[in-house]
């Protein structure tokens, strides 16, 4: 995208006030979205993001500047603007840039920009009509399509030069069921690191039906009871519990400064022995994967927890300096507008040996959370919360009537110890994860698990 000699010049400019590391990140992102609701394709939008960010490190200090002006002068200017934050003199020169060679692990069959927008819109219309025609109680549907083709280039003063191209496609379907007085919603948002072949790999019709089915089921559900009880959380997006309750607290962003409940606990038991958890940025064509992370390190499969013992953190370069540990290929950012930091990629609890039937059968009374909504966590205290989109009561080892409006709360350090059963049906679910370096695509995942006690917040 930019000549090597200019990159080298920019890095040297950035280092001239005493920085010990400089990096330039260049991004071009082509984006297409289409949104349909109320029976009409309401907006179709295309765009081109184009920008660069320069990062300078000096010890633990991080300086970042970005611009949309990618001319030589524009890049040198931000390098200079950033360097003004330091008052020293130059003590290192940028090394010669050598291009990182790797094999693309995520082949793309159909690049989105080669597909007519009308074909994309017809996929939106199909999903819309499947959900809308589910039954007469579906009052409203909205479908959002998004594809983006992001090319990144990363060069740093240690001589690294790496490029990656990440093509993602996603469809988000929301259905609203109404009886005139009450409204309930159902949602599904499948996504992949794929181009238009996404539609050959993912059964959108099934997801559209599920979104509608959830809305209708919840319309006829009773209010969820409140209290402390065993909770069975189903596979796939249910993994949001691990993502919120534990994943964020294992990111170096919160571990490095000692703010996380898991700081300094490597090698210690932090979860029940049935829990093994992994962050794997290498899964082929998965939503949270990429060949390299946003500081140019190849992504990895990292074991976070093994049989309950804390084995590792997710680490970026800067926090790695504080922790005196190596980066793990987890440094991510939404765009050139953010300095990268440690983030999750595809994070999941590994499968255990129980069948889902066994887990339900051995639960006398409790809540069965079939589909989870989103949640959040305070990484300092580990306090988390998340919503349940579709829930049922469990009575005498059987799934009983549906209940709505349930929220699960707890502390990450406690819930991990309270997981007493792990199923054998691992699946992943897609989400956008927001944190200090912006919003990034991330997979959550797990097989069905049981937490022996959790606070369930309902309206009854």
Partner 1 sequence: MELNKFIEELFRRGKEEGFSDMEVYYIDSDSFEVNVYNQEVDKYNVNKNKGISLRAIYDGRLGYAYSEKFDEEDIEFLIKNAKNNAKETQTDVLPEFYAGGQYKELERDVNVDIDTKKKIDDAMFMERRAKEYDSKIDSVNYCLIETGKGRRRIVNTRGLNLEEEGGVGVAYIAVVAKDKEDVKSGSSFKVTSNYNKIDFERLVKEACDEAINSLGAESIPSGKYKVILRRDAAATLLATFSSIFSADSVQKGFSLLKGKLDTKIASSKITILDDPFLKDAPSSCSFDDEGVETYTKEVIKDGVLKTFLYDIKTAKKDGVKSTGNGFKSTYKSPVVVSPTNMYIVKGSLGYEEAIKMQDKALIITSLQGLHSGANPVSGDFSLAAEGYLVENGKITKPVEQITVAGNFYNVLNDIEEVLSDFELALPSGLGSYGSPSIIIRELNVSGK
Cα–Cα distance between 52 and 167 in angstroms, integer?
19
Q: Give which of 130, 123, 178 is closest to 145, Cα–Cα.
A: 123
Q: What is the β-pairing status of strands 346-349 and 438-446?
A: parallel
Residue ranges in 45-64 that form contacts with partner 1 under rule CB under 8 A: 45-51, 60-64
With tokens 């991080």, the residue in question is 62
| 380 part of the interface to partner 1, by CB under 8 A | yes
| 18 part of the interface to partner 1, by CB under 8 A | no
Distance between terminal CA atoms of the chain? 59
| 2 part of the interface to partner 1, by CB under 8 A | no
| 262 part of the interface to partner 1, by CB under 8 A | no
| 381 part of the interface to partner 1, by CB under 8 A | yes
Residue ranges in 155-174 that form contacts with partner 1 under rule CB under 8 A: none
Q: Mask 225-254, x = binds partner 1 (CB under 8 A)?
A: -xxx--------------------------
Q: Closer CB to partner 1, residue 116 or residue 396? A: 116
Shortest Å, Cβ 50 to partner 1: 4
| Alpha-carbon distance values, 366 to 191, 202, 403, 456 (Å) | 32, 33, 12, 10
| 376 part of the interface to partner 1, by CB under 8 A | yes
Shortest Å, Cβ 320 to partner 1: 15
Among 1, 4, 5, 68, binds partner 1 (CB under 8 A): 68
Cα–Cα distance between 435 and 253 in angstroms, integer?
10
Residue 309 DSSP code: E
Q: Mask 291-330, x = binds partner 1 (CB under 8 A)?
A: ----------------------------------------
* 388, 369 Cβ separation under 8 angstroms: yes
Query: Per CB under 8 A, which region of 13-21, 77-85, 267-275, 345-353 contacts partner 1?
Result: 77-85
* 186, 389 Cβ separation under 8 angstroms: yes
Shortest Å, Cβ 300 to partner 1: 26
| Ranges assigned E (strand) in 157-218 | 160-178, 183-188, 191-192
- At 5 the three-state DSSP class reads helix
| 140 part of the interface to partner 1, by CB under 8 A | yes
Among 1, 4, 69, 365, binds partner 1 (CB under 8 A): 69
Q: Which helix (H) or strand (E) holds 365?
A: strand 365-377
| 72 part of the interface to partner 1, by CB under 8 A | no
Q: Closer CB to partner 1, residue 178 or residue 300? A: 178
CA triplet 55, 56, 57: central angle to 5 degrees?
125
Size of interface with partner 1, in residues (CB under 8 A): 80
Residue ranges in 404-423 that form contacts with partner 1 under rule CB under 8 A: 404-407, 409-411
Q: Closer CB to partner 1, residue 31 or residue 100? A: 31
Residue ranges in 95-124 that form contacts with partner 1 under rule CB under 8 A: 116-118, 121
Q: Closer CB to partner 1, residue 283 or residue 406? A: 406
* 131, 139 Cβ separation under 8 angstroms: no
CB atoms within 10 A of CB 376: 11
């Amino acid at each position: 995208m930019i000549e090597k000699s200019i990159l080298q010049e920019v890095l040297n400019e950035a280092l001239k006030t005493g920085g010990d590391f400089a990096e330039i990140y260049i991004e071009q992102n082509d984006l297409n979205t289409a949104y349909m609701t109320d029976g009409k394709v309401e907006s179709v939008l295309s765009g081109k993001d184009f920008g660069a960010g320069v990062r300078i490190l000096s010890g633990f200090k991080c300086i970042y500047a970005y611009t949309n002006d990618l001319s030589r002068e524009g890049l040198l200017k931000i390098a200079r603007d950033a360097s003004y934050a330091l008052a020293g003199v130059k003590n290192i020169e940028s090394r010669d840039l050598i291009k990182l060679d790797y094999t693309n692990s995520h082949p793309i069959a159909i690049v989105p920009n080669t597909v007519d927008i009308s074909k994309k819109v017809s996929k939106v219309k199909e999903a819309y009509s499947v959900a809308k025609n589910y039954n007469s109680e579906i009052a409203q549907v909205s479908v959002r399509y998004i594809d983006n083709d992001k090319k990144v280039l990363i060069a740093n003063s240690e001589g690294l030069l790496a490029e990656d191209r990440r093509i993602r496609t996603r469809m988000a379907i929301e259905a609203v069921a109404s009886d005139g007085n009450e409204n309930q919603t159902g949602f599904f948002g499948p996504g992949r690191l794929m181009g238009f072949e996404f539609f050959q790999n993912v059964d959108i019709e099934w997801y559209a039906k599920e979104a509608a089915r959830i809305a209708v089921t919840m319309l006829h559900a009773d209010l969820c009871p409140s209290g402390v009880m065993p909770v069975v959380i189903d596979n796939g997006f249910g993994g949001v519990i691990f993502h919120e309750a534990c994943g964020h607290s294992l990111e170096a962003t919160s571990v490095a400064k000692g703010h996380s409940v898991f700081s300094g606990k490597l090698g210690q038991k932090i979860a029940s022995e049935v829990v093994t958890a992994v962050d794997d940025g290498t899964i082929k064509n998965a939503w949270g994967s990429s060949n390299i992370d946003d500081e140019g390190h190849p992504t990895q499969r990292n074991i976070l927890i093994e049989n309950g013992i804390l084995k590792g953190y997710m680490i970026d370069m800067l926090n790695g300096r504080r922790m005196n540990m190596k980066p793990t290929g987890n440094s991510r950012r939404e765009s050139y507008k953010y300095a990268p930091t440690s983030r999750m990629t595809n994070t999941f609890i590994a499968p255990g040996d129980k069948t889902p039937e066994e887990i339900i059968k051995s639960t006398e009374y409790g809540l069965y959370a079939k589909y989870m909504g989103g949640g959040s966590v305070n990484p300092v205290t580990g306090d988390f919360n998340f919503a349940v989109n579709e829930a049922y009561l469990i009575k005498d080892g059987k799934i009983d009537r549906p209940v709505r409006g349930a929220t699960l709360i707890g502390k990450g350090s406690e819930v991990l110890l309270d997981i007493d059963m792990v199923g054998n049906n691992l699946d992943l679910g897609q989400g956008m994860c927001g944190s200090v370096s912006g919003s990034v695509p991330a997979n959550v995942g797990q097989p069905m698990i049981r937490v022996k006690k959790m606070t369930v917040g309902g309206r009854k």
